[in-house]
Amino acid sequence: MASSTKRVALVNSARKLPQGAKLVGAADPKQEIEISVRLRARPADDEEMMALGAQPPRERQYLSRAEFAARKGADPADVARIDDFAHHHDLNVKSVHLASRTVKLTGTVKALSAAFGVKLNKVKHEGATYRMRKGSVKIPAELEGIVVGVHGLDNRPVAQPHFRRRMARKGSTKGATARAAQAGSFSVEQIAQLYNFPGGETGAGQCIAIIELNDIDQKGHPTGAGYKTSDLKTFFKKAGIPMPQIAPASVDGGANKPGHSEADGEVVLDIEVAGAIAPGAKIVVYFAPNTTNGFIDAVKAAVHDTARMPSVISISWGGPEDAEGSQQFMDGLNEAIRDAAAMGVTVCVASGDNGSADMGQDWDGKPHADFPASSPFALACGGTNLKTPSGQIQEVVWNGGPQGGAGGGGVSVVFAQPKYQAHAHVPKSPAHRSGRGVPDVAGDADPATGYQIFLNGAGTTIGGTSAVAPLMAGLIARINEATTKKFGKTVGFINPLIYGSHGQSVFREITVGNNDITGDLHGMYKAGPGWNACAGLGVPDGEALQNLLAA
C-alpha cells in the first residue's frame, strides 16, 4: 500500500462551509490533533435489526457486548491496513476498538492533511473560530470500502442542546419571576403520575447513559457544559427521592465542566429528569467534544461500555439532518444507534425545539427533520403543552412560536421510511419521497408547562424535547427492571412493536395543534388521530407500555 499513489474520494465525506463563515487563514500545521477512523462493518443488515425489533422482547436473542465484538466488530486485517497507512504518513495509532470498529489516529495538522488529501483552515463562524475543511476526504485506493468514515479533521460544532428556559414575564421583579417560573409547571414525579408510569420499579439493576457535548476552545479542549453535584443533591433532597449513583465519563477528552456554558441547563435537566424517574438506576454521563467524532464516539462509548453496560441511552442533542454535517457523520451515528439495537439497548432522542422548520435565524424556508432523532433505530421524542385544569389532562402540540419554541417533527430526507411506519400514513418528505417520520412518541416539553429542576443554586423551570428523552429513558429503565426480573431481557429497540396493532392502543393521541413555529409553512404538519409529525403516536401510558413490552 505504501507505494500506491492513487487516491479516491471517501464516499459521503464531502462538507461545505457554513453560511456566513469567514476564512481566517490556514490551520496551525504543527498542532497535534486526534481523529477517528471508522472501519467497515462485517455483514450487517438493517433488516436484521428491524426483524429483531418486531419480536416480543421475551423471544429476542440479543448479542452480548463480547459476542457483538466477535461477530460484528472490525476485522483485524482491516486494522492492520490502517496501521500500515499510519506508519507511512507519520501518524500514530493511539487506540483500536474492534467492537465499535474505530481506530484513533494522532498527528500534526500537516501530516493528517497530507494523509487524507484535505486542506484545513481556521474559519470564523458565529463569533468563534474553528478548524474546518470543505470537499471530500481522499484515501488510498487500497482502503476504499474498508475506511467508511474519517471524523475529527474538522472540529466545528455539529449539534445543539434541545432545551428551552421558560421566559420571564415583562415587568416581573426577581422574586415574582421565580414564583412565576413555577406556576403551571410540574415536578418530574407529577409528570410520571399523570402519564401513569408503572409503580414498584425504580430502574434498579439498570444503567442509563446520558450523552452530553462540551463546548471546545481553538485547541479542541473542553471549555464548558456540566453539572454541579451540589445542585443534584439539593434537587433530590427537595424531591424526597434517593439520589441515584451518578458518574461522569470522559470521551475524546470531554469533561464535566460546569459554570462556563449555557448548556449546563441541558446536562442538569437530563440527569434530574432521568434520575427522578429511575432513582434505582446508575446514571453515567458521557461527556465528549461537540464535533463529529466526539458525538459518534460518545454514543459508541455508551453502546460498547462493558463495565457499566447501559440498557438505555438518552440523547438531547441534534440538528437539522441536512445542515452542514456530512453524510458520513449521519451514517456513523446511525450505525452506532443500530448497533445498540443488536445488544438490547434503547436509544431515546429529542426531536428538536424549533418545530417543523428545525432551524433558527438561518432558516431556509423549508421543513427539516432533526437528526439523530430521524435515525430509524432511535425512539424519537416530541413535545406537547400539558395542562391539568381541575385535575383533567389537556394536552396539545407544543408551539409557542419562535420565542417560545415548538416540538420538532417532520419527514426525513435522508432515511427511507422504515417498515414499521408502513401503515402510519407518513406524508411525503420535502424531497417528495417516502421518508422516516419523526417523532415516535411525545411528552410535556413546553417551557410554559415545563419541569421544575434545580440549577446553579436555584429552582427553575426548563422545557424542551430535551426533557422528553430522559423522561422516556427513565421509563424504559423501570420497564427493563421489570422485564429483566420476568424473563431476563431488556426491551431494546421498541419501534416496530409500538407501531403494531397492539402498540398503538398504549398511546393517548394528541389531536390538536401544529408545529409550524413561524406560521410560514401553512401548518404543513397538523395533529390528528393516529400518528402525526407533531406528536408521533402520542403520549404513552407507562403501565400499558410496560404490559405490551413485558408480554
Active-site residue, selected from the candidate residues 34, 212, 215, 266: 266
Residues 450, 451, 453, 458: what is their CA dihedral angle, to the nearest 10 degrees? 30
Exposure pattern of 526-538 as b/e (b: 16+ CB <10 Å)? ebbeebbbbbbbb
**DSSP 3-state of 218:** coil
SS3 for 282-300 is: EEEEEEEECCHHHHHHHHH
Q: Which of 542, 536, 256, 224 is nearest to 380 (CA)?
A: 536
- 262 flagged as catalytic: no
- Residue pair 217/260 in contact by the 8 Å Cβ criterion: no
Active-site residue, selected from the candidate residues 34, 270, 321, 335: 270
- Cα–Cα distance between 272 and 187 in angstroms, integer? 10
Laid out side by side, the sheet with 22-26 consists of: 22-26, 121-125, 128-132
Exposure pattern of 308-323 as b/e (b: 16+ CB <10 Å)? bbbbbbbbbbbbbbbb
Residue 11 CB-half CA count within 13 A:
12
- Cα–Cα distance between 204 and 189 in angstroms, integer? 17
- Cα–Cα distance between 7 and 217 in angstroms, integer? 33
Our measurement of the distance from residue 66's CA atom to the centroid of its chain's CA atoms, rounded to an integer in Å, reads 24
**DSSP 3-state of 106:** strand
- 466 flagged as catalytic: yes
Q: Which three cell numbers stand for residue 175?
A: 422574586
- Residue pair 375/432 in contact by the 8 Å Cβ criterion: no
Active-site residue, selected from the candidate residues 100, 261, 351, 466: 466
H or E segment and range at residue 453: strand 451-455
- Cα–Cα distance between 27 and 30 in angstroms, integer? 9
H or E segment and range at residue 231: helix 229-239
- 36 flagged as catalytic: no
Question: Is the alpha carbon torsion for 472, 475, 481, 483 positive or negative?
Answer: negative
Positions marked catalytic: 266, 270, 466
